[in-house]
Structure 1
Amino acid sequence: MREFINRVVSITLRNKTYFQGVLINLSDDWCYLKYIPVDYIVDGFVLINRRYIANIEMTDDDIFTENILKLKGIISEKNVKLDINNNVNLLLDLRSKIEIIKIELKDHHKAYIGKINIIREHSVKIHLFSPNATWLELETFLYKEIRAIYFDDDYINSLKLILPSII
């Protein structure tokens, strides 16, 4: 799989959900991508929990997309360096470097957006906020139940502009 680093790949999850992105790094627990939600548009980053991944491959479509992204200068851009070899270190990195994240659990139709509050050995506590950018409650998530973590995408960055600071 290391041969796919800095290449466009397709990832199929066990529930047949599909991701495409530029593979930044890979560990036993996480797959770190520059996220391509549609066509040749890169929108932020995603960390996918490896326990949910069924397959990682490079298709002809991925090669075509990669060529376009190289022409756009996106493949060679610097990425946020994260320690993905350990859940605690990963969340510490995300808390210090990213601030606001979106978490997707087993059900990909529901996502939680918030600020990392407390990091434990097997879980993380997130201070959630609503789609209207109002702060909600703290909620705990087990690492093993987190399917994907998104950050630095247009939706999150837009909400950050109007999000009131925490007192």
Structure 2
Amino acid sequence: MKVETYQIQDWEEPETGLVLAENDEWILVHYIPSDYVVDGYKLFKKSFVQQRLHSEHEARVEKVLRLKNVTDEPPEGFAFGTTIELLQWVEDRYGIFEFQEEDEEGLYYGKISYASADTLVIDMILADGTVDTDYDYEYDVDEIRAITFGSDYHLSLRLLWLDQQASAEGPELD
């Protein structure tokens, strides 16, 4: 079990997580937003990780996580891939995905509308769970620094989105 803190390029605040897996491009962690709280998963793109820290603080977090019986296994069915493949995996599993670019405060929730090797266009999921299908901003795939899934907020937004989908379909008529 290994907990690390990461300094991400262009982000002020460091990010902490329990390392679950990594390859040449990505690090998958159980996300630790504060102290000993584990909240979902986060993928960090290694090319934007400027520093990886493991100090006494991270060692203490490891001890608490062991005492809490937190596992360091990746989610079932997870496999590394390209950025688009990872977003597609999250969308397939959860219905919607979340990612971040250079602005650490900017969280983008959505579904893939169009994707190529270097461009991503999404149907944006708004805070009330509605879908903005006219959202046509083109994201540079290479600028995506983090992909988040399974967090309390992500799952809550998913529930709102599912509720909106059910409401849009209306009552079934016989």
TM-score category of the 2 structures, normalised to the smaller one: 0.7 to 0.9
Q: 1:76 to 1:13 in 2, by over 3 A?
A: closer
Q: 1:116 to 1:99 in 2, by over 3 A?
A: farther
Kindly indicate whether the alpha-carbon contact (under 8 Å) linking 2:44 and 2:147 is maintained by their aligned counterparts in 1.
yes
Match of 1:161 in 2: 159
Match of 2:7 in 1: 12
Question: In the TM superposition, what whole-angstrom CA distance separates every residue of 1:105-149 from its partner, at most 9, and x where no partner exists?
Answer: 101122111123433222333211111221113443222111211
SS in 2 for 1:106: coil
Question: In the TM superposition, what whole-angstrom CA distance separates every residue of 1:53-77 from its partner, at most 9, and x where no partner exists?
Answer: 1111211111110111111111346
TM-score where L is the length of structure 2: 0.81
Deviates more, 1:138-147 or 1:24-33: 138-147
Count how many residue pairs are aligned between Structure 1 and Structure 2: 162
Counting only pairs closer than 5 Å after superposition, residues 5-44 of structure 1 correspond to structure 2 as 6-15=1-10, 16-44=12-40
Structure 2 letter corresponding to 1:143 = V
- Provide structure 1 residue ranges, at least 5 long, that are not aligned to the other structure: 1-5
Kindly indicate whether the alpha-carbon contact (under 8 Å) linking 2:7 and 2:15 is maintained by their aligned counterparts in 1.
yes
Q: 1:57 to 1:154 in 2, by over 3 A?
A: same
Q: 1:80 to 1:17 in 2, by over 3 A?
A: farther
Q: 1:145 to 1:119 in 2, by over 3 A?
A: same
Q: 1:45 to 1:110 in 2, by over 3 A?
A: same
SS in 2 for 1:21: strand
Structure 1 letter corresponding to 2:33 = P
For the aligned residue pairs, the C-alpha RMSD in angstroms reads 2.1
SS in 2 for 1:150: strand
SS in 2 for 1:73: coil
Deviates more, 1:126-135 or 1:61-70: 126-135
- Give me the whole-angstrom Cα distance separating, in 1, the residues matched to 2:123 and 2:25: 24
Match of 1:152 in 2: 150
Q: 1:89 to 1:130 in 2, by over 3 A?
A: closer
TM-score where L is the length of structure 1: 0.84
Counting only pairs closer than 5 Å after superposition, residues 126-145 of structure 1 correspond to structure 2 as 126-136=122-132, 137-138=134-135, 139-145=137-143
- Provide structure 2 residue ranges, at least 5 long, that are not aligned to the other structure: 170-174
Structure 2 letter corresponding to 1:151 = F
